[in-house]
Amino acid sequence: MTGGLRGARVLVPRGGAWGARVGEAIARRGGEPIIAPLIVSAPPRDGDARDRAFAALASGSYGWLFVTSAASVEQLVAHGVAVPPQTRIAAVGPATARAVEQAGFPVTFVPEGESSAKALARQWCAAHAPAEAGRSLVVRSDLASATVSDELQLRGFGVDVCISYRTIGVDLAPDVVAGLRTPDRGAGAVDLVLLTSLSVARELRRQVGALPERVRVASIGPGTTRDAERLGFAVAHTAGTQSIDALVAELDDAAAVSSTPTSHSHRPRSHREDTP
């Protein structure tokens, strides 16, 4: 049965091309997207250090590039960085790997099972030796964990870290906040919120606080669900794969949107991306 999004007002927490694409997917299914960014990417505090790292990457100075989020790929593309053929790429999970491939670069390594920075670092280190790997570059945001670089250093690999962008919060419009807080489904009320990262969940909690029971929360993956629950949100649905397209498609099942909060029926533990 489909049609679970029909008539639902859905908060899309990121703007730009991503937000427009997700909004169109919701609208095609009869929903009403509310594109209201809660976070945006901003230049890093040390732009010169980022530029030097990008130049070294493009020149072939690194044997491996580690990418832990699609947003990092966006930064490489935005700055015109061409990853040379001799530099192999390791991605934290399938969603990030797809983003890398869509940018025109082949992916050599993706961890099996859980898509996390921890799994990426441990599995990659187990399959490689410092002498043959060359120096590695980890491209990430200011809020992402140092799990990959710390593990590589601990195992004796040469590694540099590039903070390619900062994740900063964006204040929601007052009418959107009111639509999230209202206990009744009247004019302007938001029915469903898409959570795509810990940063989005933090901003939602900071700006709105506890959500009324009628507002459903849908998460892009198990890691984000765990983070959201720690912040006090009841997650009604968790995507089966770490993909916004899959999440929207699953929510178009009427049963998914109307499921009871904290339901774990759609929460496999095998996918988690390290996204800020």
* 188 has a pLDDT exceeding 60: yes
**Average pLDDT of the segment spanning 233-258:** 82
Q: For 8-60, write each residue's pLDDT tens digit.
A: 999 999 998 889 999 999 999 999 999 999 999 999 999 999 999 999 999 99
* 214 has a pLDDT exceeding 60: yes
Threshold 0.85, pTM exceeds: no
pLDDT of residue 259: 45
pLDDT of residue 219: 95
**Average pLDDT of the segment spanning 56-79:** 95
**Average pLDDT of the segment spanning 205-226:** 94
* 260 has a pLDDT exceeding 80: no
pLDDT of residue 255: 52
Domains of the chain: 9-38+171-257 (3.40.50.10090), 42-167 (3.40.50.10090)
pLDDT of residue 258: 52
* 130 has a pLDDT exceeding 90: yes
pLDDT of residue 133: 96
Query: Which H or E run includes 97?
Result: helix 94-102
Is the Cα dihedral 218, 16, 100, 61 positive or negative? negative
pLDDT grade, residue 115 (50/70/90)?
confident
**Average pLDDT of the segment spanning 183-202:** 92
pLDDT, averaged across the chain: 89
CB atoms within 10 A of CB 173: 10
The whole-angstrom separation of Cα 2 and Cα 256 is 10
All residues at 6 or more sequence positions from 153 whose CB lies less than 8 Å from its CB, including other chains:
159
Let me know if 240 is exposed, middle or buried by CB neighbors in 10 A (0-12, 13-18, 19+).
middle
**Average pLDDT of the segment spanning 175-201:** 93
* 131 has a pLDDT exceeding 70: yes
DSSP letters, 64-82, are EEEE--HHHHHHHHHTT--
Work out the percent of the chain whose per-residue pLDDT is above 70. 91
Q: For 143-184, write each residue's pLDDT tens digit.
A: 888 999 999 999 999 999 999 999 999 999 999 999 999 998
The whole-angstrom separation of Cα 207 and Cα 210 is 10
pLDDT grade, residue 256 (50/70/90)?
low
